[in-house]
Amino acid sequence: MGGTNARFALQSGPGAAIEALAQYRCADFESLQAVLCRYLAEPGRPQPQIGAIGIANPIDGDQVRMTNRDWEFSIEAMRQALGLQRLLFVNDFAALALALPTLRPNELRPVGGGTAVLGAPLALLGPGTGLGVSGLIRGVNGADSVLSGEGGHVTLAAADDAEAAVIDWLRHRFGHASAERALSGQGLVNLYQAWAALHGQAAESLSAAQISERGLQCSDPACEAALELFLSLLGNVAGNLALTLGALGGVYIGGGIVPRLGTRIDASRFRQRFEQKGRFAGYLSRIPVHVIQPGGEPALRGAARALDA
């Protein structure tokens, strides 16, 4: 469950194949329960007894109020309404983190070098509707511990004067320049508007997808600059996360934006900013970074692992 799309699937039991995959636009429904009921009402759907939902939100009690969508609900009330014996909610990036050990080589694309240390912590972040952040602490016999936090709202830092000016613009506009204010769909729009304002240009009314497209096509200098800022700042945040978690097992980038940028991240300052941490540059140079490729729905596999546990 993200702020934009809802994806569902069925599994007959632990370790079984993920089947009956379907995706819906959240904007087409008035609530999470409404879209879930729509999925379960599709022809041929069996009535499940237990369920797990990874949602783009902190889970700290029965009442959930989504950050990037105006949906609010009680987990227990939803369980009863759906007729489930058990309904588990976890953070969506916690679910994706649980899936990291299951990812196959063809589901990953490396960014730079480095070699993973077996059994070391894994770090995960991903810009989409918001900025998801998580990590996985490897345990014996597959007993992994996932970290559920709100790392997307840490304070954004600059690596040069140009980034400092953009972050200052964000701070004056929003009060707090969090990482998510720059590293998300709306964040890319914010970066585009900031760059235009700082260079005395009029910003067009563009979506994140349009900015990405123009930036990739090199058809608009402001969009190119916004995309470069986006990837540069992402490298800085990813490096900070790797240091914080000691993520010698690797850093993974998910979310809906970066995987669609293809090889653009390779030509950006992402890896330079990732490693540019003074005395720990050598430490970070040894950490591999992988972009999780579209398809395969690993977050659903992670939700299944959460349910198994």
What's the pLDDT tens digit per position in 158-203? 999 999 999 999 999 999 999 999 999 999 999 999 999 999 999 9
Are the C-beta atoms of residues 73 and 61 closer than 8 Å to each other?
no
pLDDT of residue 142: 66
pLDDT of residue 182: 98
What's the pLDDT tens digit per position in 3-52? 888 999 999 988 888 999 999 999 999 999 999 999 999 998 988 999 99
* CATH architecture of structural domain 5-97+300-308: 2-Layer Sandwich (3.30)
Three-point CA angle 15, 137, 159, nearest 5°: 125
Task: Name the token pair of 220.
Answer: 């608009």
Percent of the chain exceeding pLDDT 90 equals 80
User: Considering the entire predicted model, what is its pTM?
Assistant: 0.90
Residue 244 parent element (H or E) = helix 221-245
Q: Which residues contact 278 (CB under 8 A, 6 or more apart)?
A: none
Distance CA 208, CA 184 (A): 9
Q: Which residue has the tokens 């489930």?
A: 84
Region 237-263: mean pLDDT is 96
Whether the per-residue pLDDT at 75 is higher than 90: the answer is yes
Distance CA 139, CA 133 (A): 20
Q: How many angstroms separate the Cα of 187 from the Cα of each of 76, 178, 201?
A: 34, 10, 19
Count of C-beta atoms within a 10 Å radius of residue 285: 14
Are the C-beta atoms of residues 54 and 302 closer than 8 Å to each other?
yes
pLDDT of residue 243: 98
Beta-bridged to residue 270, according to DSSP, are none
